[in-house]
Amino acid sequence: MSKTFLMGNEAFAHAALEAGVKVCAGYPGTPSSEVLETIAKAHAQGKAEGVHVEWSTNEKAALEMLAGAAYSGARTLFTCKQVGLNVASDALMSLNYVGVEGGTVLFVADDPGPISSQTEQDTRRFASFAKVPVFDPATPEQGCAMIKTAYDVSERYHTPVIVRPTTRVCHASTFIDIEDTTQAKPAKGFEKDSKWVIFPKRSFEAHGEINDRLPKIAADFSACEFNPIEVVSFGQDAEADSTASRDVPVQVSAQEPASDQVPTIGVVAGGISYAYVREALRIIEQLAREAHVALSAVKLMQVGTPYPFPAQRAEEFVQGLEAIMVFEELDHVLEDEFLKLAGQIHAPYTVHGKLTGETTARGENTTDDIAAQLIAFMQLPLSLEGRGMVAQTPIPARPPVLCAGCPHRGSFIAVKNALAAMGKKHEGVYCGDIGCYTLGNAKPLSTVDTCLCMGAGITIAQGITAVDPNRKAVAFVGDSTFFASGMTGVANAVYNGHDITLVVLDNATTAMTGSQPHPGTGVTLVGEHRKPLSIDAVLQALGVEKIIHANPLKAHDAIEAAREAIGFEGPSAVIYESPCTALIAPQAPVEFDEDACTHCTKCVSRLGCPALSWDRENRHPLIDTSLCTGCGLCAELCSDGALACPTQADSTDQSCPSSNAQEA
């Protein structure tokens, strides 16, 4: 046992290992990726005995693989981000009916904000839709305790269980006690039984079993430590912070409050909002002390198990309350439950929250917002005005951009140039996808016209040409996304004869989420080497008849490749191959020859490379040598030979063939 400084996700990995998890799988996605990486690291160090851990090709593959392991009695861990559960949902919905033998925990990270996601969907809703229990931690420590309990619940009731932290819990760090070594629980292996086969008749029975167990789980939840209730009273002239002195949440039933301290106001919080509420109450107490305002006690409840809702516990909580304010991110899940409860028990309390417009409807909660909302709710003569200064000076915006030297920049420029050279009537539609390359939508590249979900660029392009057959629709897909969810789309294009051009941006990694390997790299999460899956061979097998390979940083070849593929009638593909800058050492930076420069500005205005900026005074590009990777793309595109890459031979005498054609 040692106290270690861990990020939430690292801590959760250790909690699962300590619970004896045996088979772990998932697909990378912020904010969930570090969990499996931590397990793989512990495995590599020989600290996690008997564990199998893998990045699967996508979430659905991961969960189905784990289902097999769970049928065989192993404790399993599935990880993904919230939208990843959409992909795995087909498996999850039925898995709950079939049931599991070994404890099965789905770690699904939600992303309020959203900070790096395409939706603000709420996995608590998914849990109730799938009729699967869900835990919602407020802190990394609590999340660890929940994961261990989740395995017990899963095995006791043969149900998959979801643990859904949010970004701020996943990426918060603190010191946590972890076991130095762990041992996976042995599994007895697969035993044949008709229950593993889902048939309508069996489903009907299973639905009854689910309906029977959910109230039992709700009762367990009502009695568990994750739904604490306490009375927060504020000492009138206490020097010390009274909310702070109560480390352990006090159960209201165990407490005999003085009669003037019987609260009529309740506050309910889920997830990290619970931590914010505690902080906000601290701020309110301090403000009240300074303003000599008396505060009456409030009753506070955290709901750490939103589904099945711990109604008995909540009923205890609402006793004597006149009004309740609910703080939660994403959907109004808890708010709905307290409204329902009021109806069920004919309670007189009112419920305040997202539905009444009194709390934040979308995006993240903050301590500040919650403090202001509580002050209004409690009708206190206090103000948060003047807390926090605002800089009286413009602050430079720093939107995320493709890295200096990113090969995707070359691919986008090549396709854009090829289309421009083919004339106005070929104005292309750029169907983008999920990954670093979504950043291609930013100026000056402007080469992402659509982005929906993993793999959708390929199929959206087909719909666009179905409506407008003369439109050139180009679909961009990363190598990892191709294997995760691109292949069925390609099959559809070939089968239904959609004339699209697929551009595979093969940078040999899953870059966006921190350089994870994938089937095309041949390397697994634990570092085993297999024969890499060939994108070319897959495309050929799927019936794509025109496939061209090019280096996206060699502008001439890259443009030619795009032109040939786009000009081909029928589904075609360009595979641009060049590694992500995170995988390779930078080369000597590009050199600038002032005498050769004609001040055309193209290098800066067309590339958007963060290593290049424009010197307005001297009218020439400036190279940030600390950022430049010497990728050579700007040298390729400078038709005047003013930029030269020392390590990219013959790059200076190769001008961009259609650099003048591209005036868009």
Partner 1 sequence: MISVSIAGIGGQGNVLAAKILAQAAKTKGWQVRTAETIGMAQRGGDVISHVRMGNNHEEVYAPLPAKGSVDVVIALEPGEGARALPYLKENGLLVVPQSGIAPSTADLKADPYNPAAVIDALAAQGVAVSVVDDQALCDALGTRKALNIMMLAHAINVVNADPRFEHNELRNAISMDELREAIVACVKEKFVTMNLTAVDLVLQSAKVYKI
Calpha distance 78→109 (Å, rounded)? 11
303 binds partner 1 (CB under 8 A): no
Partner in contact with 634, chosen from ligand SF4, partner 1, none, beta carbon below 5 to 8 Å by kind: ligand SF4
Among 614, 640, 655, 661, binds partner 1 (CB under 8 A): 614
User: In this structure, are residues 112 and 213 in contact, taking their beta carbons and an 8 Å threshold?
Assistant: no
- Which structure tokens are listed for 625? 């040598």
Calpha distance 12→317 (Å, rounded)? 30
- Closer of 390 and 585 to partner 1 (Cβ): 390
Residues in the chain: 664
Q: Please state the closest distance from residue 27 (CB atom) to partner 1, in A.
A: 15
Query: Using CA of residue 625, residue 640, residue 415, residue 468, what is the dihedral sign?
Result: positive
- Closer of 85 and 553 to ligand SF4 (Cβ): 553
Q: How many CB atoms lie within 10 A of CB 662?
A: 18
Partner in contact with 366, chosen from ligand SF4, partner 1, none, beta carbon below 5 to 8 Å by kind: partner 1
Q: Please state the closest distance from residue 426 (CB atom) to ligand SF4, in A.
A: 26
Partner in contact with 632, chosen from ligand SF4, partner 1, none, beta carbon below 5 to 8 Å by kind: ligand SF4
| Interaxial angle between packed helices 123-130 and 82-98, expressed in degrees from 0 to 180 and rounded to the nearest 10 | 20
Calpha distance 571→573 (Å, rounded)? 7
- Closer of 9 and 507 to ligand SF4 (Cβ): 507
**Across the beta sheet with 546-550, what order do the strands follow?**
428-431, 472-478, 501-506, 572-577, 546-550
- Closer of 245 and 470 to partner 1 (Cβ): 245
Partner in contact with 555, chosen from partner 1, ligand SF4, none, beta carbon below 5 to 8 Å by kind: none
- Closer of 283 and 645 to partner 1 (Cβ): 283
Q: How many CB atoms lie within 10 A of CB 216?
A: 12
Partner in contact with 133, chosen from partner 1, ligand SF4, none, beta carbon below 5 to 8 Å by kind: none
38 binds partner 1 (CB under 8 A): no
41 binds partner 1 (CB under 8 A): no
Q: Please state the closest distance from residue 389 (CB atom) to partner 1, in A.
A: 5
Q: What is the DSSP letter of 4?
A: E
Partner in contact with 275, chosen from ligand SF4, partner 1, none, beta carbon below 5 to 8 Å by kind: partner 1
User: In this structure, are residues 105 and 163 in contact, taking their beta carbons and an 8 Å threshold?
Assistant: yes
| Single-letter amino acid, residue 629 | T
Specify which residues 472 forms β-bridges with.
Answer: 428
Q: Please state the closest distance from residue 275 (CB atom) to ligand SF4, in A.
A: 32
Q: Please state the closest distance from residue 393 (CB atom) to partner 1, in A.
A: 4
386 binds partner 1 (CB under 8 A): yes
- Closer of 77 and 580 to ligand SF4 (Cβ): 580
Burial code (b: 16+ CB inside 10 Å, e: under 16) for 616-626 equals eeeebbebeee
- Which structure tokens are listed for 285? 């107490």
Among 197, 254, 294, 397, binds partner 1 (CB under 8 A): 397
- Closer of 318 and 607 to partner 1 (Cβ): 607
613 binds partner 1 (CB under 8 A): yes
- Closer of 383 and 605 to ligand SF4 (Cβ): 605
Partner in contact with 568, chosen from ligand SF4, partner 1, none, beta carbon below 5 to 8 Å by kind: none
Partner in contact with 580, chosen from ligand SF4, partner 1, none, beta carbon below 5 to 8 Å by kind: ligand SF4
Calpha distance 87→460 (Å, rounded)? 18
Calpha distance 284→505 (Å, rounded)? 52
Query: Site residues for partner 1, window 147-176 (CB under 8 A)?
Result: 168, 171-175
Q: Please state the closest distance from residue 403 (CB atom) to ligand SF4, in A.
A: 3
- Which structure tokens are listed for 534? 């060939």
- Which structure tokens are listed for 442? 């930013």
Burial code (b: 16+ CB inside 10 Å, e: under 16) for 443-474 equals eebebbbbbeebbbbbbbbbebbeeeeebbbb
Site residues for ligand SF4 per CB under 6 A: 402-406, 408, 436, 507, 511, 580-582, 589-590, 607, 609, 611-612, 623, 628-634, 645
- Closer of 162 and 406 to ligand SF4 (Cβ): 406
199 binds partner 1 (CB under 8 A): no
> Could you give the residue ranges of the DSSP H alpha helices within 484-601?
487-496, 535-541, 555-567
Q: Please state the closest distance from residue 487 (CB atom) to ligand SF4, in A.
A: 21
416 binds partner 1 (CB under 8 A): no
- Closer of 445 and 525 to ligand SF4 (Cβ): 445
Calpha distance 431→44 (Å, rounded)? 39
Q: Please state the closest distance from residue 53 (CB atom) to ligand SF4, in A.
A: 24
- Closer of 147 and 280 to partner 1 (Cβ): 280
Partner in contact with 213, chosen from ligand SF4, partner 1, none, beta carbon below 5 to 8 Å by kind: none
> Could you give the residue ranges of the DSSP H alpha helices within 505-573?
535-541, 555-567
119 binds partner 1 (CB under 8 A): no
- Closer of 197 and 397 to partner 1 (Cβ): 397
> Could you give the residue ranges of the DSSP H alpha helices within 346-384?
367-377
Residue 264 neighbours by CB under 8 Å, 6+ apart: 296, 320, 321, 322, 323
In the shown chain, the binding pattern of residues 273 to 302 toward partner 1, with x for contact by CB under 8 A and - for none, equals -xxx-xxx--x-------------------
Calpha distance 546→548 (Å, rounded)? 7
Q: What are phi and psi of 27, to 5 degrees?
A: -135, 140
Calpha distance 562→615 (Å, rounded)? 33
Residue position matching structure tokens 């800089």: 391
Residue 307 neighbours by CB under 8 Å, 6+ apart: 124, 127, 128, 132, 133, 134, 333
Contact positions toward partner 1, by CB under 8 A? 3, 5, 7, 30-31, 115-116, 139, 168, 171-175, 241, 244-245, 247, 272, 274-276, 278-280, 283, 366-368, 371, 386-393, 395-403, 436, 439, 443-444, 512-513, 601, 604-611, 613-614, 616, 626
